[in-house]
Chains A and B, each alone.
Chain A
Amino acid sequence: MIKVVFFAALREQLNCNELSLSGENLTTVADLKNHLASKDETWQQVFANNTLLSAVNHDMVNSEQTIKSGDEVAFFPPVTGG
């Protein structure tokens, strides 16, 4: 299983904090994005945004990053702390 978590504006747009996927046929973060974008129009719009950031197991990564079962993948907008 792959745990996927969402934050801030993304979490609200998707109305989803987190979900779990079997992860079969998902090799990279890009695969996962495409898979999630195919859910419906809202998800498609959210994942079409190229400013979206991703992290795997708490490290910032790009879309080519490989993923495997047991990973925690996060998607969120650019950060605005401080």
Chain B
Amino acid sequence: MNQEISIQSADFSLADEVALLEHDNAVDGAVVTFTGRVRNQNEGRDVTSLTLEHYPGMTEKSLETIICTARKRWRIGRVKVIHRVGELFIGDQIVFVGVTSKHRQDAFAANEFIMDYLKVQAPFWKKESTEQGNNWLDAKTSDENKAAKW
């Protein structure tokens, strides 16, 4: 099992994840983390919850490929990607990307790259619940454009 990737329904602790990235790691001076959370509004709609579905097996494989590509492009140390699935409520954490590197530029760039590619390649789907009902979210062209810039 790849220790760098976790698909889980349980919440995660930012402090614990940072501690793991830093533990016994004297070579890396930079730790960059990103946490994505459930917003209360989306395109003008009041959101009550999100339900995340994924394709077990392919999800892990696609994230492994993305991390592997990042390792080829930047000099990075440790990487951790956590993505939650199931029903999540406003303010809940959805996704975590943590990257360490000797100097900050590599960790900043690799973290953003991993997140941008996760958005357009990893097989996750969000279903939004609002007072008006439930609907599957459409993919955004802006996310495609952002990933294409790398």
Binding site for B on A (CB under 8 A): 5, 7-9, 12, 51, 55, 58-60, 74, 76-82
Give the residue name and chain of the B residue nearest to A72 (CB): B57
Q: CB distance B123 to A79 under 8 Å?
A: yes
Number of interface residues of B (CB under 8 A): 27
Specify which chain A residues have a CB less than 8 angstroms from the CB of B62 in the assembled complex: 58, 60
Specify which chain B residues have a CB less than 8 angstroms from the CB of A9 in the assembled complex: 125, 136
Q: CB distance B121 to A79 under 8 Å?
A: yes
Give the residue name and chain of the B residue nearest to A7 (CB): B55
Query: Roughly how many angstroms separate A77 CA and B125 CA in the complex, as a whole number?
Result: 8
Number of residue pairs A-B, CB distance < 8 angstroms: 71
Main secondary structure of the interface of B (DSSP, over half): mixed
Specify which chain B residues have a CB less than 8 angstroms from the CB of A51 in the assembled complex: 139
Q: CB distance B58 to A78 under 8 Å?
A: no
Contacts A81-B83, A81-B95, A82-B115 given; does A76 touch B125 at CB 8 Å: yes
A51-B139, A59-B58, A79-B125 given; name 19 further pairs at CB < 8 Å: A8-B125, A12-B136, A55-B55, A58-B55, A58-B57, A58-B58, A58-B62, A60-B62, A60-B121, A74-B55, A76-B55, A77-B136, A79-B121, A79-B123, A80-B137, A81-B54, A81-B118, A82-B36, A82-B115
Out of B54, B58, B115, B126, name the residue touching A55 (CB < 8 Å).
Answer: B58
Q: CB distance A82 to B118 under 8 Å?
A: yes
B104 at the interface (CB under 8 A from A): no
Query: Roughly how many angstroms separate A74 CA and B118 CA in the complex, as a whole number?
Result: 18
Among A8, A51, A58, A80, chain B packs the most CB atoms within 10 A around the CB of: A80
Q: Can you sample 7 A-B contacts with CB below 8 Å?
A: A9-B125, A74-B123, A76-B55, A80-B126, A80-B137, A80-B138, A81-B83
Specify which chain B residues have a CB less than 8 angstroms from the CB of A60 in the assembled complex: 62, 121
Specify which chain A residues have a CB less than 8 angstroms from the CB of B125 in the assembled complex: 7-9, 76-77, 79-81
Q: CB distance B136 to A8 under 8 Å?
A: yes
Query: Roughly how many angstroms separate A60 CA and B118 CA in the complex, as a whole number?
Result: 14
Specify which chain A residues have a CB less than 8 angstroms from the CB of B58 in the assembled complex: 55, 58-59, 74
